[in-house]
Amino acid sequence: MAAQTFNSSMQPTDVYGGDEVSAIVLDPGYSSIRAGFAGEDAPKSFVNSHYGLNSQARLVFGDDAIHNPSAGLEIRNPMSKEGIVEDWDTATSLWEYAITSRLTSFKQADPRTNGMNDDNKDLEMQMEVVEGEEKALEEHPLLMTETAWNTTKNREKSIEIAMESWGCPAFWLARNSVMAAFGAGRATALVVDVGASTASVIGIHDGLILKKSVQKSNLGGNWLSSQLRSLFASQDPPLELIPHYMIASKTPVDAGAPPQAVYRKYEKDPSDSFRALEEERVLTEFKESVVQVWSGPGRLNSMNATGSNNLDYARSQPGRVFEFPDGANQMWGVERFTVAEGMWDEKAALPVPNEAPGTKMTIPEMVRASISAVDMDLRAHLLQNIVVTGGTTLVNGFTDRLNNELMAMYPGARIKIQAAGLTAERRFGSWIGGSILGSLGTFHQMWISKAEYQEFGASVVEKRCK
Amino acid sequence: MPPFKDEHILIIAPGSQTTLAQLGLPESFTPASHRFPTRMFPAPDGKTYEPYKIRSRKKEPVINGADVEMGGTGEPKEGDDQELVELPEDDEGAIYPLKEGRIDNMPAFFAFLHHVHNTLSPTLHTPIMLIAQPSWTAKNHEDITAFVFEKFKTPALCIMDSALATSYAFGIANSTIIDVGYEKIDVTAVTDFQISGRGTVPHSGGEAMTKRLVNLLKSKNFTREMAEQLKRSPICEILPPGTPLPGTDAKEEVISNPAAAASTGATSSGPSVRITEPPQIPILDEVADDDEAFDDKQIEDDGVLDVASIVTSGKIQEVLARREKEKAEKEKLKAARKEKRDAEKAEAAAAAARPARLPNSKRPRAIFHYEEIIKDAPDAKRQKTPEPVPAMAANGETAVTGESKPVDAAPAVPEAAPAPVEDEAARREQQKAARKEERRRNREDENPERIRRDIEIGTERFLAADEAYLDAVADTIYRTILSVDDISKRQDAWDALVICGLGSKVRGFKEALLTTLNNRYLVSPSSATMFMSELPSNLATPSGTGSQTPNASFSSTPHAPPTASAVNPLLLAATTASNPALNPNLSVTSYSGTHSHSSHSQSPTSIKVASPPSYFPEWKQYEEAVFLGSQVAAKVIFVVDQGLSKGFLSRVEFNEEGPTAIHQVGLVY
C-alpha cells in the first residue's frame, strides 16, 4: 500500500464524481459522533452517542431528545467500552440521524433529481424514488473512521452498511489515529489520543499504523469520571452527586454547608441510566472548570528539586470552587490535582473497584511501550511528532505534564508535542484529518467504489484499507 | 456588477406559520411590510402548489363589484359549468412546508418561495437575503441556493441563520437566542457573531401551549381555536415556578413589595427568587393591542397587498379604493386598533385604572371572551347578503357552555368592574361594532360571522406551560451554552439572553423562564472565594458579587444596575497587592499555568436578558427582531460591504462553483 501514500504526485485518472459532491466524513466515538462534509473545518453535525429507549421501545437520538426526565428513557450506548461498535442496528440508525439531522435529507424531495431519468418507465421511476427515500447517502462518498483495534468483522459490517443500507457510491475506512495525525499535518507521528472510553498511544508512519506500537488503556474521560465519583464519595460527609434535573431551585449556601434545594418530583423516577447520563454532564462541567493535571516536573507525590514534596506545593496553590446543581459548593484544593494523577502514576489513582490502572496503563508507560515497539530509526522521528488529541486531553495541564514526563523519560531526545490550541480542533482532531483527507484530489483514486464492493464483497475493505 | 441599492434588497424570513418579507430597506428599519401564511395548497392538477385553497364550484353569474376575490395567480381553469375559485381565508387541506422549522416538503416550500417572490415582484437586480431556520440541513441550503439562482435569476443570495440575524438586531456579539416558534423552541448560542452552539426543544413552542390548554379544558369542550385565543388573551399567564395557583393555596407569603409581587405573581417563591419588576399593566396593554403581530390568522387584514393577484384579477381600481378606505380608517382608528379584543382591553384598562384590584394572577377565575367565526358551509360561502349578526349567532356551530353573545350586545365586563370602565368598554365596543360592520362589508367574499362568548376559566389558564415544559427549555439553554467551546465566552452568552419569537409573547413566559434558569443554574459566589478572589475568572462579570446576585436581573428595563454589596474582587486585589499575606491568591509564585488557565470557571454567575436596541423608532416589539436583524445584515452585506468579505454568494460564483459554494460565504469577523 505504499503506492497510496498521500504525497503521490500522480494525478488521478478517474476522478470520482467531480468536485461539487463532497464526501461525508463520519467519526463515531464513545461519547459523540462527528459528521460533516469533507473540506470543512469543523463537523456540522455533533451528536451524543448515547441514545434513549422510551417505554414504547422507540429510540430517540440526539441531545435535544435524550435529556427529557419525564420521557421514561433508558439510556444506552451502541459502542463498547473499547470504542468499537457493539450494537450495529442502533449504531446505524444513530449515524443516520447524525447525517440526516444536519447534513443531508433522506427524502430526495428535490424535483430536479426526479426529472433526470425521464426516459425510464413510470414504474421504474417510482421505484427509483422509493429507493432514494431510503438511502440517505446516494450522492455522497463516505469516509468513516475506526479505532486501531477494530475487528475484521466490524470493518466488513461498516462497508456493508455504507454500501447496502445507505447506497454510498464510494467508501473508505480510516483509522482515527491516522486521521488525527493528518489533522495535525503529520503523516508520521506518535498519536496520544485520550477520549471518553479509551486512551491510546499509536505510532504512525507514512499514514499507516505501526501495529506493534498500538497501546491502549481505559484511562480516558470515563475513568476520570469514576475517579471523581470516588473522590466525592470519600469526602466527609460523602458528597452526593445530584444532577440538574432533580433540582427545582437551589439556594446559595456557605461553602461546605449542606445543600438547601427544592427537589423536583417526578411521577415516575427516571431510570438509573438516565441519571448516570445526567450526572456525567455535571462531571464534565467539573472537569472543565476544576480538574487540573499536576503539570510537573515530577510526579505529584514525588520530591521536587528544592527537596519539598510536590503535593505540599500543590496544596499551597489556590483552590477552585465548584457549585453543584443542588447548590452545595466547596473549595477544591489539592484534590483537583490528585484526581487526575492516576493517569500518570498508577499508584496515585483513587480506589475504584475493577478500574485500578495496571502498571503499564498510564499514559507515560503507554508512550514508552509504544516507542520501544517501533524500529530504532523511527523513534526519534516519532518523539518529534507527538500529536495530542481527544477531548480528555483538554484537562488543564495535560500537555505540560506529558511534555515533562517525556523529557524525564527520554533525556536528550528532542521532544515536540503538537496539541491544537483550539478546543474544537482538539476534540475533533480525527474528524478534521478525515475532512482533509476526503477533500484531497489525490485521495479520489483510493475510494472503494460500489463496483469494487459488488465484485469483491465486504472483504475488500480488509484488502484496501490497511 | 453595479452596487446594490437599499430599495432593491429582498428579504424573506420564513417561519413555520408566518413568513415575513419585504422588498427594499427603508430609511429607518421597519417591521416587515408583508406577512404571508407559510402554507401552500395542492393545485387541482395534483402536481403543483397554489398559495390559496382552490375549490371548484358551480359557476355563477358574476355579480358586479361585489366579487373582490383576490385570486388570479392560479389561472383558473374553466370547466363547462365549473369554475375554480380561490379561497384566501380557507386553510383546509393546507400544506405547511415547514415543520418545527425543518423543511418538510421541499417542492411546496419552493412553490411558496416562488409565490412570495412573485407577490413582491422585485427587479432583476435584486439581491435576496433569506433567513434560514437553525434546523435546516446543509443540503437544504444547497437546494435552496440552486433554486433561487435558477428560478429567480437573482444576482446575489445570502442565506443567514435566523438566530444570527436576531443577534444582529441586538448588535451583541455574544448572546443566546431563544426563539420560541410555532412548534419548537430553538436555542442558539452565538459568540463573536458566529454560531457556536445549538439546541432545540422539540414539540414545544406556542403550539404546545395551545395543545396543553386544549387538554386541560377538555371538560369545557374547548376547541383548538378557543385555546389559541385564550392563550393570546391577557388572562392566560405563565406563573413563575413555585407560585401557588390562586385559590388553591391559602398560605400567602409575606410580600415586601405588594405592587411588584402582585403584578408578576411572584411572591418569594423560591428562596433565591426575587423578581422585582415594575407593575405589568402597561405591558398587558401592549399585549392586548398588538394582536396584529401576534395573530397569524389576521394576516389578510394587515396590509398584505397581493399585487400580482389584484392586477391579474383586473379589479385594480376597486381594490385600491377599498384599500384606501381601509387605510384611512386605520389611521382614524389608530387608538381603537386594539378593539379586536376590546373586552380584554377593557379589562386591561380596568386593571390600569384600579391597580388595587386583584391582578389576574391572584384571581382563581377569570372571564375569557371567545370570539368565534362562524362559517357557512363552503358552498354557500359566497352568498352576497350579509345577514344580521344575531341571526348568525343563533345558528352558531358550536354552542358550548354558557350563553353565546352576539357581537353588538352589551360588553361583558368582569363583574367587579366599576362604572367608568364599563363606559369605556362600551364605547370601544361600539367602535368595534362599527369597524366590524365595515370590515364585513369589505370582505363579502369571506363573510365571516363573529360571535363572542364569555367563558369563565379557572386556574387552567396558568398552566399553558407547566414545569416540565419550562425545565426542558431551561435545560436546553443550559446545555447549549455549555456546549460553547470557548469557556470564557459562556458567561457572556448568559448575560445576553434574547427571548424572541411570537410564542414568547404569552404573558409571563419570559419571566417564568428566567426564574427557572435562575432557580436551577445560577452559580452564586461562594463564601469560600469571597476573600480569595477568583479574580481573572470573574473579570468578565464583575457584577456577580455578593450573596445577593442579581436575581432580579430581568425587568422590563433590563440591565438592572449591578448590586454592589459584597467585596469587589478587583478592589480586594488592589488593596492586598502590597501585602501578599492578605491575599493568598497573589502569593508566592506564578508557577506553571495555574493562574493563566483561570478562564476556567463555572457559569452562569449571572443571567441577564439583553436589552433591545433603542435606535429603531419603528420597532416597539422585539419578538420579531429576526426581521430587524435581517435588515441590518442585508444593509451590511449587500450595501456597505458589497461582497468584499464574501458575505453573499454572487451569480458568477454560483455558476462557477455550484450550490455548495453557499457554505463558503457569510460574514466572518
For residue B620, pLDDT over 90 is answered with: no
How much is the pLDDT for B479?
A: 94
Domain ranges for chain B: 6-40+95-171+614-664, 239-462
Which of A44, A64, A254 should one mutate to test binding to chain B, selecting the residue with the greatest count of B CBs within 10 A?
A64
What are the distances in angstroms from CA A194 to CA A219, A279, A363?
Answer: 8, 21, 9
- B577 has a pLDDT exceeding 70: no
Q: How many domains does chain A have?
A: 2
Nearest to B222 by CA among B211, B206, B234: B211
Helices (H) and strands (E) in chain A, counts: 17, 19
Which residues of chain A have a CB within 8 Å of the CB of B486? 423
Q: What percent of chain B has pLDDT over 70?
A: 56
Name the A residues in 36-65 with CB < 8 Å from any B CB: 37, 40, 44, 63-65
pLDDT attached to residue A285: 93
Q: Is residue A192 part of a domain?
A: no
Q: Which one of A287, A314, A348 terminates a domain?
A: A348
Cβ–Cβ of A262/B270 closer than 8 Å?
yes
Is the CB of residue A322 less than 8 Å from the CB of residue A332?
yes
- Examine the fold and report which residue of A348, A367, A389 is the final residue of a domain before the chain moves on: A348
Separation CA A450–CA A454 (nearest Å): 6
Q: Is A377 inside a domain boundary?
A: no
A319 part of contact set with chain B, CB < 8 Å: yes
Interface contact B272-A422, CB threshold 8 A: no
- CB contact under 8 Å between B137 and A247, yes or no, is no
Optimal mutation site among B469, B602, B657, B668, interface A, most CBs of chain A within 10 A? B602
Task: With CA atoms as reference, report the closest residue to A288 among A365, A232, A228.
Answer: A228
* Residue in B closest to A285 by C-alpha: B602
In angstroms, the separation between the Cα of residue B475 and the nearest Cα of chain A is 8
Distance between A261 CA and the closest CA of chain B, angstroms: 9
CATH number of the domain within which A170 lies: 3.30.420.40
Q: Which of A321, A336, A393, A400 to mutate to test the interface with B (most CBs of B within 10 A)?
A: A321
Q: Which three cell numbers stand for residue A284?
A: 464534565
Instruction: Mention every residue, 6+ apart, whose C-beta is less than 8 A from residue A106.
Output: A96, A100, A133, A134, A136
What pLDDT does A392 receive? 94
Q: Is the pLDDT of residue B395 over 70?
A: no
CB B526 to CB A427 under 8 A?
Answer: no
Nearest to A251 among B241, B272, B486 (CB): B272
Chain A, residues 399-438, CB within 8 A of chain B, namely: 400, 422-424, 427
Dihedral sign for Cα B442, B444, B445, B449, please. positive
Contacts of residue A108, defined as CB under 8 A and 6 or more positions apart, other chains included, come to A114, A129, A132, A133, A138
- b/e sequence A265-293, b meaning 16+ C-beta within 10 Å: eeeeebbebbbebbbbbbbbbbbbbbbbb
Q: What pLDDT, in 10s, does the model give residues B327-375?
A: 666 666 555 554 545 555 555 555 444 445 677 877 878 887 787 766 5
Does the beta-carbon distance from A248 to B199 stay under 8 Å?
Answer: no
Question: Chain B: residue nearest A404 by CA?
Answer: B592
Do B532 and A254 lie within an 8 Å CB cutoff?
no
Cβ-nearest to A254 among B106, B520, B527: B527
Tell me: do A286 and A149 sit in the same domain.
no
Judge whether A152 is closer than 8 Å to chain B, CB to CB. no
- Tell me the H-state helices in A106-260: 111-115, 122-134, 152-160, 176-183, 221-233
Which of B135, B526, B537 should one mutate to test binding to chain A, selecting the residue with the greatest count of A CBs within 10 A?
Answer: B526
| Exposure string over A349-384, b if 16+ CB within 10 A, otherwise e | bbebeebebeeebbbbbbbbbbbeebeeebbebbbb
A197 belongs to a structural domain: no
Q: Does pTM surpass 0.80?
A: no
ipTM: 0.88
Please report, in tens digits, the pLDDT of each residue of chain A (466 residues total).
343 333 333 333 333 334 557 899 999 999 999 999 998 889 999 999 999 998 888 999 998 889 988 888 999 999 998 889 999 999 999 999 999 888 886 544 333 333 333 333 344 444 444 444 456 677 889 999 999 999 999 999 999 999 998 989 999 999 999 999 999 999 999 999 999 999 999 999 999 999 999 999 999 999 999 999 999 999 888 889 999 999 988 888 888 888 889 898 888 889 999 999 999 999 999 998 899 999 878 888 887 777 778 888 888 888 888 999 998 888 888 999 999 999 999 888 888 887 777 778 899 999 999 999 999 999 999 999 999 999 999 999 999 999 999 999 999 899 999 999 888 899 999 999 999 999 988 888 899 999 999 999 999 999 888 7
Is A31 found in the same domain as A160?
A: yes
Cβ–Cβ pairs < 8 A, chains A and B: 155
Identify which of A40, A63, A111 has the shortest CB distance to residue B199: A63
Verify that A40 and A120 share a domain, yes or no: yes
Q: In this structure, is residue A444 part of a structural domain?
A: yes
Show which of A348, A369, A388 is a domain's final residue. Answer: A348
Pick A110's closest partner by Cβ from B143, B272, B588: B143
CA atoms of B60 and B54, how far apart (whole Å) = 16
Q: Would an 8 Å CB–CB cutoff place A122 in contact with chain B?
A: no
> How far is Cα A49 from Cα A59, in angstroms, rounded to an integer?
12
Pick the residue of B133, B196, B471 with the most A CBs within 10 A to test the interface with A by mutation: B471
B449-457 sheet: strands from edge to edge = B366-374, B449-457, B404-405
Give the minimum alpha-carbon distance from B499 to chain A in angstroms, rounded to a whole number: 19
Residue of A135, A260, A262, A407 to mutate, interface with B, max B Cβ within 10 Å: A262
What CATH architecture applies to the domain B6-40+95-171+614-664?
A: 2-Layer Sandwich (3.30)
- Which chain B positions have a beta carbon within 8 Å of A67's beta carbon? 475-476, 479
Is the CB of A68 less than 8 angstroms away from the CB of B143? Answer: no
Give me the torsion for CA of B464, B470, B473, B476, rounded to 10°. -160
Which grid cell sits at B13?
424570513
Test A281 with B479 for CB contact under 8 angstroms: yes
Residue A135 contacts B where some CB pair is shorter than 8 Å: no
CATH number at residue A337: 3.90.640.10
The CA distances from residue B227 to B207, B221, B286, B496, B521, in Å, are 10, 10, 20, 32, 32
| B67-109 confidence digits (pLDDT tens) | 444 444 444 444 455 667 777 777 778 889 998 888 988 999 9
Measure A347 CA to nearest chain B CA, in Å.
Answer: 24
CB proximity under 8 Å: A 68-97 to B: 68-70
Report which of residues B282 and A362 the model is more confident about: A362
| Residue ranges making up the domain that contains A264 | 221-348
| Predicted local distance difference test score (pLDDT) of residue B528 | 66
Q: B11 pairs with which residues across the strands?
A: B22, B129
**Cα B464 versus chain centre, distance:** 16
Mean pLDDT, residues B595-609:
68
Strands B404-405 and B98-99: unpaired
